[in-house]
Amino acid sequence: MLDSRFVRENVQDVREALKKRGYEFPLQEFLAIDEKRMVLLRETEELRNRRNVASEEIGRKKREKADATSELEEMRIVSDRISALDDQLKAVEDETKGLLLTIPNMPHESVPVGKDETDNTEVRRWGEPGKFAFEPLNHWDIAEPLGIIDFERAAKIAGARFALMKGPGARLERALMNFMLDSNTAKGYTEIFPPILVNRESMTGTGQLPKFEAELFRIADPEFYLIPTAEVPVTNIHRDEILKESDLPLYYTAYTPCFRREAGAHGRDTRGLIRQHQFNKVELVKFVKPEDSIDELEKLTGNAEELLQRLGLPYRVVALCSGDIGFSSAKTYDLEVWLPGQNKYREISSCSNFGDFQARRANIRFKRDGKKGTEFVHTLNGSGLAIGRTLVAVLENYQQQDGSIIIPEVLRPYMGTDRIG
RNA sequence: GGAGAGAUGGCCGAGCGGCUGAAGGCGCACGCCUGGAAAGCGUGUGUGGGAUAAAACUCACCGAGAGUUCGAAUCUCUCUCUCUCCGCCA
């Protein structure tokens, strides 16, 4: 959420910045309701002041057994007026807030300007896509003969876009999860295992609601949302809190299952593990001081990259352009891993700096030592990494001509074997 | 699921419907004291909005929302959360 005062005082800049996203800021609407709000606010405050003064006077008179009927009469009218104005003010404030909640974040100045994913810029590459003496297979063509992923039975049990992992497949999923958590905690991230059902406030805090309800699974009674990413519960750990300066930066890492409707994705990645309604992910989340967030994004991205490096998986880093970054993000790098079976790079991690956008929604502040008042923290997060897609990358990059899979060195302690099949 | 208790400032803990942004204590900060420390003494110590050059000033906030009243931390209702006991359960 943008700061209404900042928007009021910098309307044109805000408008320009959002235009880079292809978002047309509702200028007239905002200014109109904002003006209305200020007028109502001043009038009610003035009336309240009158009432406070008069009420004190009435109290004094009553104690002195003096007559106060004329004041009582007058205040009855003032109070009616106040409650009428209060109703209007409440309505206008709801309107303002409702509008602000649907406006996306402003891209950071370092974000390349562009329209869609074709304007994203590659920042760097690591590793060489391997040479195969045979035609490399898709991961489902590798996994099904090995009996380690069963899509058919998953469809019977749940439906399309679900998978069932079995034997070494299930073990590999767990190995990746443990490898990632162990690596992240060794880098100073505190391990979290949060609730995966959350309330509406949490979803609003990180920006999924109110705009993206259609992408979420919801339980009606009692109302809960299934998290689409650990970002939601972990960022909301500090909702409505005031942190101490010395608390920052805070680094968290969390494994959770993630649930997504994939409502607009009919026909995309219908086969295989790439796009599922339920998938596992290890997430990195940071709370930092405003002046540090740009550097912290580089460090966070580096931590995610290191996981791919240790797994020996070739990847590239892509800076998303202004038209392609997410709703809440000020700046995003995607990590794309090389998939020989598809002969292309596919997203495996998305690392974002949200600035104070989420912090303002979720009311996460900190107090500087020796300074008056509070400031919003900056929040960041990134996948470190999407486990299902990492498993796909391992299968496809480490496949052998005989149909077996070599297990990457760093996973062997977790797998108890160096080969599947 | 049944029965009961509670929610006040960083923490503990008072609070007759008006003079309570909130006693008292702890903690914290600064100062005095000391060779240095402890103890002791003194002063200060919430958040958000409006106004302002900055203040003064002003409005709101005692779990959330609604109500009664000229006036609510204090009375009424609803909800949320926490705790205790019983039942059930992984």
CATH number reported for the structural domain that contains residue A201 in this entry: 3.30.930.10
- Considering the domain architecture, whether residues A256 and A224 belong to the same structural domain is answered as yes
CB atoms near residue A136 (< 10 Å): 21
Instruction: State whether ipTM is beyond 0.90.
Output: no
> Which tokens belong to A417?
């074997």
Q: Which domain holds residue A168?
A: 117-420
Rounded Cα distance between A166 and A174, Å, is 11
| Chain B bases near protein Cβ (<7 Å) | 18-19, 47-51, 58-60, 66-67, 69-71
In a domain, A395, yes or no: yes
Q: Are A264 and A315 in contact (CB under 8 A)?
A: no
Residues of A with catalytic annotation?
260, 275, 347, 350, 389
What sign for the dihedral angle of Cα A106, A111, A115, A117? negative
Lookup: nucleotide whose C1' is closest to A374 CA: B47
- Considering the domain architecture, whether residues A72 and A141 belong to the same structural domain is answered as no
> Which tokens belong to A162?
């679900």
Residue A141's pLDDT is 96
Q: Between the CA of residue A24 and those of A18, A107, A111, A235, what are the distances in Å?
A: 7, 14, 18, 28
Q: How far is the CA of A382 from the C1' of B55 (A)?
A: 45
Q: How far is the CA of A165 from the C1' of B55 (A)?
A: 68
- Considering the domain architecture, whether residues A320 and A220 belong to the same structural domain is answered as yes
Boundary residue ending a domain (A101, A133, A161): A101
In a domain, A1, yes or no: no
In a domain, A2, yes or no: no
Residue A290's pLDDT is 93
Residues sharing a CB contact under 8 Å with residue A116, sequence separation 6 or more, in sequence order: A321, A323, A324
Rounded Cα distance between A398 and A36, Å, is 63
Residues present in chain A in total: 421
Rounded Cα distance between A252 and A195, Å, is 15
- Considering the domain architecture, whether residues A324 and A242 belong to the same structural domain is answered as yes
- Considering the domain architecture, whether residues A210 and A292 belong to the same structural domain is answered as yes
Residue A179's pLDDT is 98
In a domain, A269, yes or no: yes
Cα A122–Cα A124–Cα A127 angle in degrees, nearest 5: 125
Residue A79's pLDDT is 92
- CA R_g for chain A: 27
Boundary residue ending a domain (A101, A125, A151): A101
Judge residue A214's burial from the number of C-beta atoms within 10 Å of its C-beta, 0-12 exposed, 13-18 middle, 19 or more buried. Answer: exposed
Residue A60's pLDDT is 85
- Considering the domain architecture, whether residues A287 and A184 belong to the same structural domain is answered as yes
CATH number reported for the structural domain that contains residue A59 in this entry: 1.10.287.40
Amino acid A132 reads: F
- Considering the domain architecture, whether residues A262 and A218 belong to the same structural domain is answered as yes
- Considering the domain architecture, whether residues A189 and A314 belong to the same structural domain is answered as yes
- Considering the domain architecture, whether residues A39 and A179 belong to the same structural domain is answered as no
In a domain, A19, yes or no: no
Q: How far is the CA of A253 from the C1' of B61 (A)?
A: 35
In a domain, A272, yes or no: yes
Residue A373's pLDDT is 80
- Considering the domain architecture, whether residues A137 and A75 belong to the same structural domain is answered as no
For A163-187, write each residue's pLDDT tens digit.
Answer: 999 999 999 999 999 999 999 999 9
- Considering the domain architecture, whether residues A92 and A125 belong to the same structural domain is answered as no
Rounded Cα distance between A385 and A180, Å, is 7
In a domain, A406, yes or no: yes
Rounded Cα distance between A178 and A357, Å, is 31
Intra-chain end-to-end CA distance of chain A, in Å: 51
Q: DSSP string spanning A86-111? A: HHHHHHHHHHHHHHHHTSPPPPPTTS
Amino acid A403 reads: G
Rounded Cα distance between A131 and A186, Å, is 33
Boundary residue ending a domain (A101, A131, A155): A101
In a domain, A8, yes or no: no
- Considering the domain architecture, whether residues A144 and A244 belong to the same structural domain is answered as yes
> Which tokens belong to A88?
């209007």
Q: Which ranges of chain A have pLDDT less than 70? A: none
Nearest Cα residue to A53 out of A71, A27, A32, A31: A71
Residue A61's pLDDT is 87
Report the domain count for chain A.
2
Residue A318's pLDDT is 98
